[in-house]
Amino acid sequence: MKARRFSVLSAVLIVIAVLFAPRASAQDNVLYFILDASGSMWERVEGKPRIVIAKETLSSLIEQTPAEIRTGITAYGHRRKFDCSDIEEIVPLKNLDPMTKHRVQERISTLSAAGKTPITDSIRQTVDRLKTEEGRSTIVLISDGLESCGKDPCALTSQLKSSGINFVMHVVGFGLTQEQEQKLSCISEAGEGKFFTASNAADLLDALMVVKESVVEQVELTPLPEPEPVVQKVESSSTSIKIKAKGPGTVKLVPAPWVQEPRFWALGDVESGELLYQFKRQGVSPQKVPAGTYQLVWRQDRHRSPSVITDQIVKVKSGEVAEVPVATGVRLNMPQWVETPYWWGLKAADDGSGNRPSVWFRDLHAQVVSPGRYQLIWHQTEHRTTPVNLGAIDVQMDQLNEITVATGLQLVKADWVPEIRRRWWKLLDADGQVVLKVSNFEFKPQIVPPGKYQLIYRQTKHGATDSPLGPVVVKEGELAQFAVNTGVGFSYADGTEPPYGIEFSRLNEAGEVEVSVQLKRSWGPIPLRAGTYRVGYQEVKNGPVMTIVESFDLPAGVFVEIEM
């Protein structure tokens, strides 16, 4: 079967014919998009990356979609490189009232392009979500490339249609070669839909408008007649022609003034990330490579940074020079009290997989990165602190993005607080989740995000339990200080062995225990939160617990000594 394609002219003619097309069911009000956000979407069209064009176009279409049309969006390749499971429903199926439209557009704006092209699994997940819909669902795949995860989207689409699930699948090929169009159009054929070609922003919007109007007006899209095939004349003789072999093209990097000379730069496969041509210790001098499409990879340092797959898609033509700007980066600005971290890094803003960054750096000078929305991760020391998420940052394209890191917390101890190596403190957020844990610490400032926290102090790993010291407020751009100067100790005769356990129970106004802090085989002293306490004493393990102090007040900033 020939691919049913729609050019821009076709799209205009279809819109004119909408009023005269056969009517579909009134229940066919589902319009669902599958958006390609793979690494190749960084290729530029008329100076603008395809991913930016796609996001702007889709947002514009959402604005013009009536509220009664239930709309959803799945994106793939937008969070992680080389991960065929990176598929996410970013907008669940819903009606588009004005507030919902705004939220959907905000969500679309956060997408970046990063990974592979798992078209097949994206179709499978989408159809599975829509299979219970009463009417026919309209699905639109927007892609600039072919399946890159070893599966067959055409066979799957045909299988899903044969199973009786009521959907139609349209495909918009964005910036495809003729060969790619032929391979991708089989998805729309199997899905009984239409195949649109788009080479720029206007084409893309026209194609999506046609599909949207078909759902709004409840009409079927009818393909235009195929042109008559060209019949080659049969001659008794043929003409001899010459062809010229393709030579290499030249890649010329154009770095911004702030960019430092890398250890190496390379050209990699757009989908797999495999390094195809690497130029080590050659600066940024022009290099000849075979014609083709590549992605620029940048390695600043051998051990202190990873290889960064940039947003630059490089199209090399035989005998021509391809100029490639290197101008997107991040530089951290910090006050003097901030010490150089073990590493700092960036991870995709919508990647919820812990605090492991996708790129990391051990130097604080400007670094080349890809544009997008990230979470900034800070890891102060290798073993003594946990990585801390400092929140979202936006890295704008083609500029050096200056990010200020100046928010922190410092514990300030009184002179009676013991110097014990195996101790820690941690901050808990409003949900009780650990934001930062600092082990075996000195009382140095620590970078934390602004917020309201509870501070938990642990005197020793085995010789004490957690001691909640109270709330902490950390304001943006400030170094907050928390005084560790409230606590309890004992005076005792020389040589007196400490008991198995001592328990400090903080009491509320009704005399009920709110929290207990224990010392094991130690006389302390121990930091506590201000309040009213009862003291329990256990001489030996499994022995009775005796109350040795019924009640006493511990004011803030006071050290109370209990005489034994």
DSSP for residue 441: -
Give me the pLDDT at residue 27, please.
Answer: 55
Query: What tokens were used for 149?
Result: 């995860």
Residue 239, SS3 per DSSP: coil
Phi-psi region of 432 (alpha: psi -120 to 50; beta: other; left: phi over 0): left
Residue 78, SS3 per DSSP: coil
pTM, full prediction: 0.81
Contact 96, 71 (CB under 8 A): yes
- Alpha-carbon distance of 206 to 518, in angstroms, equals 70
Q: Which of 146, 74, 71 is nearest to 101 (CA)?
A: 71
Contact 526, 464 (CB under 8 A): yes
Give me the pLDDT at residue 222, please.
Answer: 53
Give me the pLDDT at residue 28, please.
Answer: 61
- Alpha-carbon distance of 156 to 168, in angstroms, equals 13
Contact 155, 124 (CB under 8 A): no
Contact 178, 212 (CB under 8 A): no
Give me the pLDDT at residue 214, please.
Answer: 80
According to DSSP, the residues that pair with 560 across neighbouring strands are 488
Render each residue's pLDDT in the chain as its tens digit; 564 residues: 444 444 443 443 343 333 334 444 445 689 999 999 999 999 999 889 999 999 999 999 999 999 989 999 999 999 888 899 999 999 999 999 999 999 999 999 999 998 899 999 999 999 999 999 988 999 999 999 999 999 999 999 999 999 999 999 999 999 998 899 999 999 999 999 999 999 988 988 888 888 888 877 665 555 545 556 656 565 666 667 776 667 899 999 999 999 999 999 999 998 888 899 999 989 999 999 999 999 999 999 989 999 999 999 999 999 999 999 999 999 999 999 999 999 999 998 877 767 788 899 999 999 999 999 999 999 999 999 999 999 999 999 999 999 999 999 999 999 999 887 778 999 999 999 999 999 987 789 999 999 999 999 999 888 899 999 999 999 999 999 999 999 999 999 888 999 999 999 999 999 999 999 999 999 999 999 999 999 999 999 999 999 999 999 999 999 999 998
Give me the pLDDT at residue 348, please.
Answer: 87
Query: What tokens were used for 380?
Result: 């102060």
In 261-387 the beta strands, taken as DSSP E runs, fall at 264-268, 275-280, 287-289, 292-299, 307-316, 321-326, 329-333, 343-348, 359-361, 367-368, 372-379
CA distances from 219 to 209, 214, 555 (A): 13, 5, 76
Q: What share of the chain is helix, strand, coil (3-state, %, to 5)?
A: 15, 40, 45
The CA angle 338-339-343, to the nearest 5 degrees, is 115
Give me the pLDDT at residue 422, please.
Answer: 72
How many other CB atoms are there within 10 angstroms of residue 460's CB atom? 17
